[in-house]
Structure 1
Amino acid sequence: MRYLIVPFIIYILAKTEGVLSQDEISKERSPEFWRKNAQDDLLIKLSKTLNLNKAKNIILFLGDGMSNPTITAARIFKGQNEGFNGERDSLSFEKFPTVGLSKTYCVDSQVADSACSATAYLTGVKSNYQTIGVSAEVKLNDCLASKVEKNQVDSIAVWAQNNGLSTGIVTTTTVTNASPAGTYSHTPNRGFESDVYIRALNQSLEDCEDIAKQLIFRDPGKSFNVILGGGRKNFLPNSTTNGNRLDNLDLIKHWEDSKLNWKRSKIMSKKARTKYVTDRESLLNVDFRRTDYLLGLFNRGHLDYHLDSKSRQPTLKEMTEAAIKVLQKNNKGYFLFVEGGLIDKAHHVNMAYKALDETLEFSKAVQKAVDLTQENDTLIVVTADHAHVMSMAGYSDRGNPITGIAGQVSNIDKLPYMTLSYANGPSAGQHSNRGLRDDLRNVDNIGEKDFQYPSLVPLQYESHGGDDVTVFARGPWAHLFSGVIEQNNIPHFMAFAGCLGNGLTMCSNDYK
């Protein structure tokens, strides 16, 4: 019965800490309060002028699975954790001047996965479900078709490197996972992160090169200045404690050895300075001024959830700061891809509390990038690859804990229900018996980080949602990202602002 006590304490604390103070209630009852708020926001918008500068730097932040309900719930979660009125709080990127919506479907699927969506928002071409860096001519597992050059599509990372920019990827998942792989890989199956997975499907290693190997041996991956995330197992032979590779390759050693003879730049004869790190302390102690290439693999697989990491691994904010400090030494600028990948992983197991916490970590990373850059020359775009099926429902009073029970009981079975719940997932049936819902007031772990929120349809893993996702933009040509756009427009718009690629850019004679 512990649940009956904890939420009551939280609710009282929320009231005493100002979430719903009497002063706040009094202000909100006045029409003038809302009129003044609206006029203040109007003046802020009117003071903004279009930024038509060239984007020297471009940072794309990707909240994997960061649906609109996730953003709303995380905003409230943040405010309530800080003792404020959560509904009127904001995540860092919600303050960006431009907001739009992105259509996320694949060529062959109404609901996207992270592979086809990564191909869209990084290469500018829509593709098939579970394929990366290839056109829709390539079907799932068609290795031969993926080798055909005309079927391979390059990402904005390639366009940036062709213009002399530095490049990097940062993620809380494996660096070979679908989203970061979209910057450098061409594969008919997102699961081919290591050769062991290609062999498991009896595919030819000559026809299909695994994603980790592409990152280390092929451009643009081998030329990335920064690679930070998880997935150490995909780079080491299975003869080692942490490895799973069957080809006996040590890709980490190859990365280190390959940089020994690299020059720092085309005009400098000095050798490139490299650093490989495996834990948070080592990353924080890197001398970024004297590091040209930085590789950090902080776990065998995905990084731990922020709530479980116990400071062994760097935060997304810390990795973002490290990446920018390495990349910003290039006077020509840089392109950086940053993914908060564990939002998605938490949703897939119906753990909304962890998904919201990971969203807050993502917001902190965006704010760090804002703090380290200038709006006049750095375009920052924040978006998601796809939605999830978490919903926010009920008619709770203001200040009701967002991770708790909704404010009303069902008028059918007279039992309470959660504010947050899922359309499907592994928790289906967990909170019911023979079709009758359990009384959640008797559940003792609600509000804890590992609580699995109720879902309707039983699935091994909760599915993605097909709804549009939000795009937030700040910096040069940010206004291009307004309205409802196709997801594959995103890299084309970024390239226009930074004068990259072969399409129309602000530097093109055709545009001028």
Structure 2
Amino acid sequence: MLKQGLSVVIASILSSATYAGSATAATTTDTQLNNAWYKDGQATITEKLQQSRSTRAKNVILFVGDGMGISTLTAARILKGQLAGNSGEEGYLSFETFPYSALVKTYNVDAQTPDSAGTMTAMMSGLKSDAGVLGVDEDVVRGTCASVKGNEVVTALELAEIKGLSTGVLSTARITHATPAATYAKSADRNWEDISDMDIDNNAERADCEDIASQLVNFEKNLEQRYTGVDVDGIDVVMGGGRRHFLPKDAAFNSVDAVSAIEGDRTDGRDLTAEWSAMYPNGQYVIDQTGFDAIDTESTERVFALFNESHMQYEADRANDIAGEPSLSQMTEKAIKILDNNPKGYFLTVESGRIDHGHHAGSASTALNDAIEFSNAVQAALDATNDEETLIIVTADHSHVFTIAGYPKRGNPILGKVVGIGATEPSEDSAGNPYTTLGYSNGLGFRDLGAETDGDASYAAEAVAGRQDITAIDTTTSGYHQEVTVPLSSETHAGEDVAIHTSGPGAQLVQGTVEQSVVFHLINRALGLVGQ
């Protein structure tokens, strides 16, 4: 009876009842029903009700914004809108319009605040592991080569290869860095990117372990040896930075855009780029924008692209690259066009690695501009795929100690100083000094580098803690680095949950708050990789 009474009351309010203090019900109701916020919310619910309930996909694309916590999403969304001349708060990043989202718990087995190796291993394997190790379970001992044997886990990328799907790994970081490496490598230490990192002279037992760069080139052989009867053709598309880990420590092997006097780091004399080319004579090894642009996506069988000696450029600096390098969205679009030549489907991982690096450097501007390009890459994938056959997953591996604070008014520059509602001058702290909306709990702290776009320039000086007089400083410039409370040589990760957004077949399985290892099971269910 009560339920029926409430229904009558609600119907009355939305039709003919009169609100106290208002002229007529019709006037008040029309105003509400025609309000843009009201209509937008109604349209959102209507759209969700029309979503497909299929759980099987032909293709899966996993996007990982490294270090892209909730505060980063919010600030990047606002900055994107403000760069377009809007207030910013009302906008969305491309994937924030996806029909399904949830929260993801990011801790490692041995760490409350995680690192990228353990978190990506969880997403790739379906089980959580320790910080600092790749493609192995929690029983491994970090830095001990012998502990790897028997503790290896199989990854979604490997299972996709075994099923006959095409596969790809893209990153703006070194391709041997933790997040991309977790898709293909088994290592007791994420830092063993090449043999020179393993210090074998002082740790003889490590000679039995293969460095990460070598594992990438030998991926096909290693996978077939690990599982009897398996026949795969190797990763089809690899694009990122990190050329130094594939080249000998010999200036004769320098690339045209080498930054160091000797670009290569390998102390075993191996040129892994040449080994890859010999292994895949029909493949294309690419190092610059010209080579990238020349790739014919309809005829190219596979691509190995290393665009930089170390990490690729921050998005804000990409145009300054000596030999030129593509954006993350360009790499994503090209990779999809190559991979979708396989009628069986594909699995692609795309990482925006330098969001994380911008935050570590304490440069909000750098991190947020890379996050905006990450959003562009997701949009490129949406434009290049069919929502009825491709599941797109967008998430982060962990967050950062990055905050949005104070009481700035609507539309206040997100990189600027706090100006309150109705005010024209910046708000002040208890000592009478203005302060910024964005900040970091720890890290290198205050820098006023003007138009400098390289966030890593902050590492050239010692950490600065506490408040500074920023009254006369333009904090919206790309070279401004936010103040911190705790001075450290680098800003740290944070431990709170991150978001996951999904679209396409199986997207509806993302609900509530989940363990990070659930991401693998989402991919597995969509592609029917194992046990499905």
* Superposed pair shares fold, TM > 0.5: yes
Sort the Cα spacing of 1:433 and 1:476 in 2 relative to 1 into closer, same or farther, 3 A: closer
Residue matched to 1:179: 179
Aligned AA for 1:41? T
Pair 1:399 & 2:411 matched: yes
Pair 1:346 & 2:358 matched: yes
Residue number among 215, 228, 234 corresponding to 1:223 in the alignment: 234
Pair 1:421 & 2:439 matched: yes
Contact persistence 1:198–1:208 (CA under 8 A) = no
Secondary structure, counterpart of 1:153 in structure 2: coil
Contact persistence 2:467–2:483 (CA under 8 A) = no
Residue matched to 2:317: 308
1:201 Cα deviation from its structure 2 partner: 8.1
1:73 Cα deviation from its structure 2 partner: 0.4
Single out whichever of 105-114 and 451-460 deviates more from structure 2: 451-460
In structure 2, what is the Cα distance between the partners aligned to 1:478 and 1:402? 32
Sort the Cα spacing of 1:436 and 1:88 in 2 relative to 1 into closer, same or farther, 3 A: closer
Residue number among 375, 388, 405 corresponding to 2:387 in the alignment: 375
Secondary structure, counterpart of 1:78 in structure 2: helix
Residue matched to 1:493: 522
Residue matched to 2:114: 112
Residue matched to 2:11: none
Sort the Cα spacing of 1:322 and 1:49 in 2 relative to 1 into closer, same or farther, 3 A: closer
Single out whichever of 198-207 and 478-487 deviates more from structure 2: 198-207
TM-score, structure 1 normalization:
0.86
1:289 Cα deviation from its structure 2 partner: 1.2
Contact persistence 1:430–1:454 (CA under 8 A) = no
Unpaired segments ≥5 residues, structure 2: 1-30, 224-231, 255-262, 421-426, 450-461
In structure 1, what is the Cα distance between the partners aligned to 2:404 and 2:43? 29
Aligned AA for 1:67? G
In structure 2, what is the Cα distance between the partners aligned to 1:70 and 1:295? 31
Identity value in percent:
40
TM-score, structure 2 normalization:
0.83
Secondary structure, counterpart of 1:424 in structure 2: strand
Contact persistence 2:200–2:207 (CA under 8 A) = no
Pair 1:74 & 2:76 matched: yes
Aligned AA for 1:154? V
In structure 2, what is the Cα distance between the partners aligned to 1:386 and 1:442? 35
Residue matched to 1:443: 473
Residue number among 331, 334, 348 corresponding to 1:336 in the alignment: 348
Secondary structure, counterpart of 2:334 in structure 1: helix
Residue matched to 1:366: 378
Unpaired segments ≥5 residues, structure 1: 1-29, 261-272, 506-512
In structure 1, what is the Cα distance between the partners aligned to 2:171 and 2:463? 40
Contact persistence 1:390–1:420 (CA under 8 A) = yes
| Larger proportion of strand | 1
Aligned AA for 2:119? S
In structure 2, what is the Cα distance between the partners aligned to 1:339 and 1:303? 12
Equivalent residues, number: 458
Contact persistence 2:117–2:131 (CA under 8 A) = yes
Contact persistence 1:410–1:417 (CA under 8 A) = yes
Secondary structure, counterpart of 1:112 in structure 2: coil
In structure 1, what is the Cα distance between the partners aligned to 2:216 and 2:180? 10
1:450 Cα deviation from its structure 2 partner: 2.5
1:50 Cα deviation from its structure 2 partner: 1.8
In structure 2, what is the Cα distance between the partners aligned to 1:385 and 1:368? 21
Is the radius of gyration larger for structure 1 or structure 2? 2
Residue number among 53, 57, 70 corresponding to 1:55 in the alignment: 57
Residue matched to 2:155: 155
Secondary structure, counterpart of 1:238 in structure 2: coil
Residue matched to 1:194: 194
Residue number among 97, 100, 105 corresponding to 2:99 in the alignment: 97
In structure 2, what is the Cα distance between the partners aligned to 1:64 and 1:218? 24
In structure 2, what is the Cα distance between the partners aligned to 1:124 and 1:387? 20
After superposition, where does 1:232-381 map in structure 2 within 5 Å? 232-239=243-250, 240-241=253-254, 242-260=263-281, 273-310=282-319, 312-381=324-393
Contact persistence 2:246–2:264 (CA under 8 A) = yes
Once the two structures are superposed, what CA deviation does each residue of 1:148-174 show, in whole Å capped at 9, x if it has no partner? 12x000110111011100101000000
Residue number among 483, 502, 518 corresponding to 1:473 in the alignment: 502
1:207 Cα deviation from its structure 2 partner: 2.5
Aligned AA for 1:47? Q
1:200 Cα deviation from its structure 2 partner: 7.0
Contact persistence 2:464–2:484 (CA under 8 A) = no
